[in-house]
């Protein structure tokens, strides 16, 4: 059976994404076909669309999706046909030094980064799949290892978000930084990623959670998911730092940067008290640099951590986060404030550039 997918294709960076009908290959050994139910729009998609990261084209976009498995290739036992799966944008290679010691999130040789199936074949016949999963498509053929089965009661849109922003933000707090209970936390940038850091800080038992954004409506959402305090940021970084110090007895023990701007990376580091940790989650355009004052950093025994995919082990962490969302401990559905159709993708990117909406989610019929 030949399946024709409706897919959001980036023909060339910097050009509008177009929806095209593309023929899919049949899933082969080690591959599955997923009928997509939902795909989030992450700022990483916008980085790719705008050419801020170097990615091959033409490519089917999207890396934050969930759907139902509708066909499996030879020998595939997991997942099974009918499973609700969230797609992981990082498939560990399994053999590099980081994979061998269990740090799969750090795998530099992940086949996902080739944006094709494991043997280099493309599921969309000549058009690549972003991170080998291409979630902005009605259907996608993906490596079975990327499709992680979730409890069937998981809301499909939440399942999609577990594929990127939830895992990235919650994991940055609980896994990368492993914030101990009772510490103070600040989060700069309240999109899907930053608000997931806020939810992670609640789960960690942080004493204060200060949420910062330059868009006032984001501060209200942050309070609704557990922020204890908010700061409306302006271009005056010194004022933001002063407000943060005031709220946290001299500076937050942990500052999460969830935007990806050199100025806010520098703000995160400058706001640290003695012994504080800056956790960099936001991603800048390739090549950007940031600076900090070395003497105060070393003398104050501070730390900077980079957090990729929330230090996720997707097959373990995705079902955990899904269960917490079902139990109400992780209110991930509050992140979703706009439902769109696949054809609205360029409008969604434009809204994201303006700082509108927390998480826009594409619904597939």
Ligand X SMILES: NC(=O)c1ccc[n+]([C@@H]2O[C@H](COP(=O)([O-])OP(=O)(O)OC[C@H]3O[C@@H](n4cnc5c(N)ncnc54)[C@H](O)[C@@H]3O)[C@@H](O)[C@H]2O)c1
Question: Which residues are at the interface with ligand X (CB under 6 A)?
Answer: 42-44, 47, 164-165, 168, 188-194, 212-215, 218, 233, 258-261, 264, 281-283, 307-309, 352, 355
Q: Which lies closer to ligand X via its Cβ, residue 5 or residue 265? A: 265
Which whole-number Å values give the CA distances from 189 to 70, 222, 309, in the listed order?
Answer: 37, 10, 17
Q: Which of residues 164-193 bind Zn ion (CB under 5 A)?
A: 164
Structure tokens that stand for 88 in this block: 């992981």
Contact 25, 121 (CB under 8 A): yes
Phi and psi angles of residue 206, each rounded to the nearest 5 degrees, phi first:
-60, 145
* Shortest distance (Å) from residue 276 CB to Zn ion: 26
What residues does 36 pair with on adjacent strands?
67
What is the pattern of x (binds Zn ion, CB under 5 A) and - over residues 20-59? ----------------------x-x---------------
Contact 142, 63 (CB under 8 A): no
**Tokens 């591959």 sit on residue:** 31
What is the pattern of x (binds Zn ion, CB under 5 A) and - over residues 98-127? -x-------x-x------------------
Q: Which does 214 bind (CB under 5 to 8 A by kind): ligand X, Zn ion, none?
A: ligand X
Contact 276, 251 (CB under 8 A): yes
Q: Which lies closer to ligand X via its Cβ, residue 8 or residue 281? A: 281
254: Cβ–Cβ under 8 A, 6 or more apart, which residues? 173, 177, 179, 183, 184, 185, 186, 201, 206, 276, 277, 278, 279
* Shortest distance (Å) from residue 125 CB to ligand X: 28
Contact 123, 24 (CB under 8 A): yes
Q: Which does 99 bind (CB under 5 to 8 A by kind): Zn ion, ligand X, none?
A: Zn ion
Q: Which lies closer to ligand X via its Cβ, residue 154 or residue 176? A: 176
- DSSP 3-state of 262: helix
The distance of Cα 128 from the centroid of its chain, to the nearest Å, equals: 20
Structure tokens that stand for 133 in this block: 């999963």
Q: Which lies closer to ligand X via its Cβ, residue 69 or residue 283? A: 283
Q: Which does 51 bind (CB under 5 to 8 A by kind): ligand X, Zn ion, none?
A: none
* Shortest distance (Å) from residue 360 CB to ligand X: 9
**Tokens 């401990």 sit on residue:** 329
Q: Which lies closer to Zn ion via its Cβ, residue 10 or residue 231? A: 10
Q: Which residue's CB atom is positioned nearest to ligand X?
A: 191
Q: Which of 17, 36, 60, 93 binds Zn ion (CB under 5 A)?
A: 93
Residues that bind Zn ion (CB under 5 A): 42, 44, 93, 96, 99, 107, 109, 164
């Amino acid at each position: 059976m030949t399946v024709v997918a409706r897919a959001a294709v980036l023909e060339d960076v910097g050009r509008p994404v177009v929806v095209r009908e593309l023929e899919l290959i049949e899933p082969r050994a080690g591959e599955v076909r997923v009928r997509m139910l939902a795909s989030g729009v992450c700022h990483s998609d916008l980085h790719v669309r705008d050419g801020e990261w170097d990615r091959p084209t033409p490519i089917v976009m999207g890396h934050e999706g969930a759907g139902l498995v509708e066909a499996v290739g030879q020998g595939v036992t997991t997942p099974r046909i009918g499973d609700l799966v969230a797609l992981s944008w990082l498939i560990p290679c399994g053999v590099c030094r980081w994979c061998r010691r269990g740090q799969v999130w750090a795998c530099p040789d992940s086949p996902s980064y080739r944006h094709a199936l494991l043997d280099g074949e493309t599921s969309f016949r000549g058009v690549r799949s972003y991170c080998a999963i291409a979630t902005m498509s009605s259907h996608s053929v993906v490596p079975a290892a990327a499709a992680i089965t979730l409890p069937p009661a998981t809301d499909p849109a939440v399942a999609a978000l577990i594929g990127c922003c939830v895992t990235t933000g919650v994991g940055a707090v609980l896994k990368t930084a492993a914030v101990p209970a009772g510490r103070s936390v600040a989060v700069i940038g309240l999109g899907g990623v930053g608000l997931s850091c806020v939810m992670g800080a609640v789960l960690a038992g942080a004493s204060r959670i200060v949420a910062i954004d330059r868009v006032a409506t984001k501060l209200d959402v942050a309070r609704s998911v557990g922020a204890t305090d908010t700061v409306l940021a302006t271009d005056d970084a010194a004022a933001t730092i002063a407000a943060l110090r005031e709220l946290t007895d001299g500076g937050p023990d942990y500052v999460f940067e969830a935007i990806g701007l050199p100025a806010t990376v520098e703000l995160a580091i400058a706001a640290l008290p003695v012994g504080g940790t800056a956790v960099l989650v936001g991603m800048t355009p390739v090549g950007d640099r940031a600076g900090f004052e070395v003497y105060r950093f070393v003398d104050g025994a501070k730390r900077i951590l980079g957090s990729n995919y929330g230090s996720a082990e997707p097959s373990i962490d995705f079902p955990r986060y899904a269960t917490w969302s079902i139990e109400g401990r992780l209110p991930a559905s509050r992140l979703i404030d706009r439902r769109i159709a696949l054809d609205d993708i360029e409008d969604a990117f434009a809204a994201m550039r303006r700082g509108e909406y927390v998480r826009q989610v594409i619904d597939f019929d």
